Homo-oligomer: A and B are copies of this chain.
Amino acid sequence: MTPERPLGVALVGYGYWGPNLLRNYMELPSAWLKWVCDLRPEQLAKVKARYPSIKLTRDLAEVLADPEVQAVLVATPISTHHAIAKAALEAGKHVFVEKPMTSDPADAEELIELAAARGLTLMVGHTFVFSPPVRKVKQLIDDGTLGDIYFVTTQRVNLGLHQKDVSVVWDLAPHDLSILYYWLGEYACSVAVNGRGCIVPEIPDVAFINLKFPSGIVAEIQASWLSPVKLRRTIVVGSKKMLVYDDTENVEKVKIYDHGVDFKDPTDFGEFQLSYRTGDILAPKVSGVEPLLLEAQHFVQSIASGDTPVTSGEQGLQVVRSLEAADASLRAGGTEMPIDLPPAG
C-alpha cells in the first residue's frame, strides 16, 4: 500500500456483524472496500441498495483470485473462520478475522503459522481493545497511575436473545478476556468456572470465570445473559489507586479513586454513612471515537507497517485456549484447568 493507493479489501460474511465492518471501512480513506461475499443473495441485495459501487459475489474463489484484493475481512460464523482465513492467507491476502478467532486452538495455531510463514498480517476483531475507555485504562496501568495491579473483576450481564448453540462463555467472555490480556500484558495460566444453564440446562447462561495469571494477579469475569438491563462494571484494584470502568455510563465511563490517609473503620451505622471513600475521585476525559473505526485503521496501518497488531493472532489464540479451558472447567463442575501459554517470544 502506498499513500496514493488505498488498501483493496474484501468482506466475507454480511450477517449480524458484517454491516458494521462495511460501514466503517467505507469511511476509511486508506481502504477501498471492493468486494462483499456472502452465500445469501438477499444479504448481497442489501449491500447493493446502500452501496451500488461494491462488487458482490457468492463465490469466495472469485474474491481471492482478484489481485486488487490485498486483505480479507472474515465475518462469517465461527465454524467457518478457519477455512476461509486459511484460504485467504494461502492466496497471499492479509486477514482480519472476527472473534472468537476459531473454535479449536489447533486451527488458530495453524493460521498463525501460515501468516508468519508468508509474512502476512493476521488480526483478530477484539473490538473492545479499541474502545477509548479501555485504551484510557491501559494507559493508566502502563504509566503506573494505579501502581501494582492486585486484581480485576468484571461484570457483563447482558440483555439479548439467548443463544441456541453456544455457552455464555463463548458468547461474552471473549470481550473480557481480550481486554484483560491487553491491559495486563500477560495471559491467564489457569481458569476455574462455575455456572449454570438456567433456561436450558445444557447451555450455560451464567458463568463465574476465575482466572490466575503468572504474575500472581487474579481476575474474575461474571458473564450472563438473562438480564433486562445491561450491566457492566469492571474494577481494577492497584496498590496506588483503584479504577472503575462502566461502559453503560454516558459521561463518567472511567473513574479513578484515590486513597486518602485519614480513614478509619466505621464504628456505627451513622458513621458508616460518612466514610464512603477516602480520597478524590477523577473521571478523566475519554474520547468518543467509534472503536470499530479505530480497529479498521489499526488493521490498515499494521499491514502498511508490518508491525504485529495489538489484537494479534497470538492474542486471539490465547482467548480461544482460555475459552476452551473455561468450557472444560464448567463441564467438570468448576475444576481448575491449566491454559497453555505461548512459547516465550
A interface residues with partner B (beta carbon < 8 Å)? 16, 19-20, 23, 150-151, 153, 155, 157, 159-161, 192, 194-196, 198, 205-206, 208, 210, 212, 216-218, 220, 222, 224, 226-231, 233, 235, 237, 239, 241-242, 244, 248-252, 257-260, 263-270, 273-285, 288, 290-292, 333-336
A150 with B198, Cβ < 8 A, contacts A235-B231, A278-B285 known:
yes
Q: Which residues of B contact A229 (CB under 8 A)?
A: 242, 251, 257, 276-278, 281
Docked Cα-Cα span, A228 to B252, in Å, equals 13
Inter-subunit contact B248/A237 (CB<8 Å) = no
Q: Which residues of B contact A192 (CB under 8 A)?
A: 192, 194, 334
Inter-subunit contact A206/B150 (CB<8 Å) = yes
Closest to A231 in B: B235
Docked Cα-Cα span, A216 to B204, in Å, equals 12
A264 with B161, Cβ < 8 A, contacts A208-B218, A241-B228 known:
yes
Docked Cα-Cα span, A155 to B220, in Å, equals 12
Docked Cα-Cα span, A160 to B276, in Å, equals 10
Number of this chain's copies in the complex:
4
Docked Cα-Cα span, A322 to B231, in Å, equals 29
Expressed in whole angstroms, the minimum distance between the Cβ of A231 and any Cβ of chain B is: 7
Q: Which residues of B contact A248 (CB under 8 A)?
A: 250-251, 276
Inter-subunit contact B280/A282 (CB<8 Å) = yes
Closest to A291 in B: B269
CB-CB nearest 9 A-B residue pairs: A274-B288, A150-B198, A229-B277, A281-B283, A194-B210, A228-B257, A228-B259, A208-B220, A20-B268
Closest to A226 in B: B237
Inter-subunit contact A249/B250 (CB<8 Å) = yes
Q: Which residues of B contact A155 (CB under 8 A)?
A: 153, 235
Q: Which residues of B contact A228 (CB under 8 A)?
A: 241-242, 257-260, 277-279
Closest to A20 in B: B268
Expressed in whole angstroms, the minimum distance between the Cβ of A235 and any Cβ of chain B is: 6
